[in-house]
Structure 1
Amino acid sequence: MSHTAHIPSHRKPRRSASKLALRAGVAGGVLSTIAVAGATGPAHAAEPVTETIEMPTLTTGLASTAAASAEATQQVAADLQLKAQQNAAASSAAKVAKKAKADADAKAEAEAEKKAEAEAKAKADAAERASRSSARTTLSTSSTGGGSNSTTSSSSSSSATGSAATIVDFALAQVGKAYVSGATGSSAYDCSGLVQAAYRQVGIDLPRVSQDQSTAGRQVSLSNLQAGDILYWGGAGSAYHVAIYVGGGKFVGAQNSSTGVVERSLDWDRPTGAVRVL
């Protein structure tokens, strides 16, 4: 047995053939590169490398994106403008429709009021005629019975003098003029307006309405009438119509809108009573 048999060997382990080949290839490549560089000569050793690497450009892509973005923005703006125009048009149309409706409602309301006034006036005229007819029937019955309210034309004066003549002449001069409720002359009257205007000719200021005029003087019998007396229909103090007795069994009064100021016989519409102011 050798005296070194138990001493371990200090040699490095053998490398594998593949690793050795790889390293040999790398080394060979490096030496080849150095050899080529040396062969180019010293004339090229100091020249700097001037070759540049051209990077890919993005200009075309960015321009396309910007153009698309601008087009989208313009489209949004156009849509917003169109929407605003549509809203403005709708608002304008709504205002026009609202005004048209308000005008139509106002017109309808005015027509309804006018119709109501016409109907009320027709009813009032009918009620007035009915009341006068009733009063005439009552007076006729009383006359037939020989009562003290009997009225005859023989008891009436056919002529007037002084203030009475002035009142009568004024009343007769108004015949044919219009009847207008609330009117006091000179082209139109209502019943009490005519009586008031006639008495104003002689300086007498009568109350304005028929109710008060029916108590403005002393009560006189219908059988003892004188020209210038105030005739009334209805109760004393609650009369609904007045006129002026002009003598000869006739009176002048502003009757209604259909007839205007007329001269009529007492038999046409007999009064309820009379008052004498003169």
Structure 2
Amino acid sequence: MSHTALIRSHRKPRRSASTIAMRAGVAGGVLSTLAVAGASGAANAAEPVTQTLELPTLTADLATQVAQSADATQQAAANYELQAERDAAAAKAAHQAKTDLADAKKKAEAKKKAEAARKAAAERATSRSVERTTLAATASTSTPATSSTATGSAAAVVAFVKAQIGKSYVMGASGPSAYDCSGLVQAAFKQIGVSLPRVSQDQSTAGTQVSLSNLQPGDILYWGGAGSAYHVAVYVGDGMFVGAQNPSTGIVERPLSYDPPTGAVRVL
């Protein structure tokens, strides 16, 4: 027996043919896969890679939401426009109301002033009426000048004014066909050489103030205050006067009670 007969052999056991064949097949498959992968990698390296992105499909619900959002936006814009129109209309109405109020205040103030003027005029008229009534009563209880027949220059003045009775009253006229009140008085004294002022206010202070109870023919009668008279005439005796009264009557002869004078002045 060999000296190595009892020593285990270090050789690997022989594989069976089927095992070898199976392993060869596996290896071949692996190599084939690697070859295909390499070829595919080479092909991919040679051609550019193109990536396609797919957009989401617009569904019916999303379209409805978009439409509703658009409607809401349009409605909001319409509401803003309507509100702007309302604000503008309110501002215009406020401005018009302010203007109307100012006009109403002006009209009320004008009406108030007109009413005050009317009352003042009525009070003046009443006062004048009372004054005339008082003067008429005084004239009726007093005896005028004792002489009813004028003499000298006074007679000439009386004759002149009586000769003008029936002529017209014209504001600013001084004869010979028409006169106003002070124009008649001035002309009557002018023809006897006496120069008098032109207007009633000045004629009422042109001579010596005399009482209405002591009148003489030729005295100048005046209505209103001395220095502010608004009418004049000539006393002709017997409680009568001649004057250019107004456009309706013209130059007339009237009793003192017809329109009692305020005072009188004597020039002659």
Do they fold alike, i.e. is TM over 0.5?
Answer: yes
Partner of 1:173: 168
Report matched runs for 1:232-247 at 5 Å.
Answer: 232-233=222-223, 236=226, 242-245=231-234, 247=236
RMSD over aligned CA atoms reads 5.0
Query: Residues 185 and 232 of structure 2 are in contact (CA less than 8 Å); yes or no, is this contact kept in structure 1?
Result: no
What is the CA–CA distance in structure 2 between the aligned matches of 1:32 and 1:136, rounded to whole Å?
A: 163
Count the aligned residue pairs: 218
1:250 aligns with 2:246: no
Superposition deviation, residue 141 in structure 1:
3.1
What SS does the corresponding residue of 1:154 show, helix, strand or coil? coil
Structure 1: distance between partners of 2:161 and 2:110: 44
Bigger CA radius of gyration = 2
Where does the alignment leave 5 or more consecutive residues of structure 1 unmatched? Answer: 1-30, 144-149, 178-184, 188-193
* Matching residue within 206, 209, 233 for 1:219: 209
Conserved 8 A contact 1:216-1:277: yes
Would you say the 8 A contact 2:150–2:158 is kept in 1? no
Report the Cα distance in structure 2 between the residues aligned to 1:204 and 1:140, rounded to whole angstroms.
30
Structure 1 residues 60 and 161, CA gap change in structure 2 (3 angstroms): farther
Q: Which residue is equivalent to 1:9?
A: none
Q: Aligned runs of 1:1-278 on 2, under 5 Å?
A: 34=30, 37-38=33-34, 46-48=42-44, 54-57=52-55, 77-143=77-143, 150-151=144-145, 154-155=148-149, 161=156, 165=160, 169=164, 173-174=168-169, 185=171, 195-198=181-184, 204-206=196-198, 209=201, 213-220=203-210, 222-226=214-218, 229-233=219-223, 236=226, 242-245=231-234, 247=236, 249-252=240-243, 263=252, 264-277=254-267
What percent of counterpart residues are identical?
Answer: 34
Task: Name the CA distance, whole Å, in 2 between partners of 1:169 and 1:54.
Answer: 130
Cα distance in 2 for partners of 1:171, 1:218 equals 30
Cα shift at 1:241: 5.5
1:194-220 CA distance string (max 9 Å, x none): 5445456667434664xx543222335
Is the CA contact (8 Å cut-off) linking 1:230 and 1:276 kept in structure 2?
Answer: yes
Shift of 1:125: 1.2
Q: Which moved more, 1:99-108 or 1:55-64?
A: 55-64
1:117 deviates by: 1.8
User: For residue 108 of structure 1, what is the amino acid of its counterpart?
Assistant: A
TM-score norm. by structure 1 comes to 0.54
Shift of 1:231: 0.8
